[in-house]
Copies of this chain bind each other. A is one copy, B any other.
Amino acid sequence: MCPHALIPYKPKNPKTRLAAILSQEEREQFAFSMLEDVISAVKDAVCIPVIVSTELFDSEMVQVTITDADLNASLNEILPSAEQNILIIMADLPLADEASIRRVISTSSDMAIVPGRGGGTNVIFVKDPKRFHVDYYGTSFQKHLAIAQEAGLSVEVIDSFRLHTDIDEEEDLVELLIHGNGKSRAFLAERGFRLESETGRVRAVRQR
């Protein structure tokens, strides 16, 4: 079983909620390094990565170019034609590792879902993609559970903080600095990001 892993990816001006601490060029480099970490984890779990993006970019990876910037419409065009099980994993999950992805794809249910922070959906695995469709944005986790229920698909919710932790905001960088071990963590370290302890939680600060 080698599921195709669809990885939606936005190469141009990504991660705008990090704009206060990273320039556009840096955000593009950072997003690409996170994508590389996700691809690496996906391959370790013996899945076949397929980048889903609005534009082709320089990479040897299999790529699906979509004309529509609407992630939902694009994925929902792909799913009905899928001949085998499909993994959909976001590109901003640099803590993803082989073990966590294997937990997802080895579900005994019809589907597995990993919720993201704040009600999003970070990972979906569906054995019969023809019976499912996606509805990202907002509290998509709850929407996806409802879609599965309507379709009569059993769902396992995978309890993983590595796949739960999507990197969108400054405070998320702390988790990457502590638990990351790939290219995106190295990128942050090279750019001067360090952990700083104060009262309460630890923060990520940039030293220039």
Residues of A at the B interface (CB closer than 8 Å) are 17, 99-100, 115, 117-120, 138-139, 141-142, 159-162, 164-165, 168, 171, 174-175, 178-179, 195, 197, 200-203
Nearest opposing residue in chain B for A171, CB measure: B118
Question: In whole angstroms, how far apart are the Cα atoms of A115 and B174 in the complex?
Answer: 12
Question: In whole angstroms, how far apart are the Cα atoms of A104 and B115 in the complex?
Answer: 21
Question: In whole angstroms, how far apart are the Cα atoms of A120 and B179 in the complex?
Answer: 12
Work out how many copies of this chain go into the complex. Answer: 2
Task: From B161, B168, B174, give the contact of A159 (CB < 8 A).
Answer: B161
Question: In whole angstroms, how far apart are the Cα atoms of A160 and B100 in the complex?
Answer: 10
Check B174 against A118 for contact (C-beta < 8 Å). yes
Check B118 against A201 for contact (C-beta < 8 Å). yes
Chain B residues, CB < 8 A from A203: 118
Chain B residues, CB < 8 A from A161: 115, 159-161, 164-165
Check A201 against B117 for contact (C-beta < 8 Å). yes
Nearest opposing residue in chain B for A197, CB measure: B138
Task: From B115, B175, B178, give the contact of A142 (CB < 8 A).
Answer: B178
Q: How far is the CB of A114 from chain B (nearest CB, A)?
A: 8
Task: From B120, B162, B202, give the contact of A118 (CB < 8 A).
Answer: B202
Check B160 against A197 for contact (C-beta < 8 Å). no
Q: How far is the CB of A185 from chain B (nearest CB, A)?
A: 14
Q: How far is the CB of A119 from chain B (nearest CB, A)?
A: 4
Chain B residues, CB < 8 A from A115: 161, 178-179
Check A178 against B139 for contact (C-beta < 8 Å). yes
Question: In whole angstroms, how far apart are the Cα atoms of A99 and B160 in the complex?
Answer: 12
Check A119 against B159 for contact (C-beta < 8 Å). no
- Known: A159-B162, A164-B161, A168-B201. Is A174-B99 also a contact (CB below 8 A)? no
Check B119 against A202 for contact (C-beta < 8 Å). yes
Check A197 against B164 for contact (C-beta < 8 Å). no
Task: From B139, B168, B195, give the contact of A202 (CB < 8 A).
Answer: B139
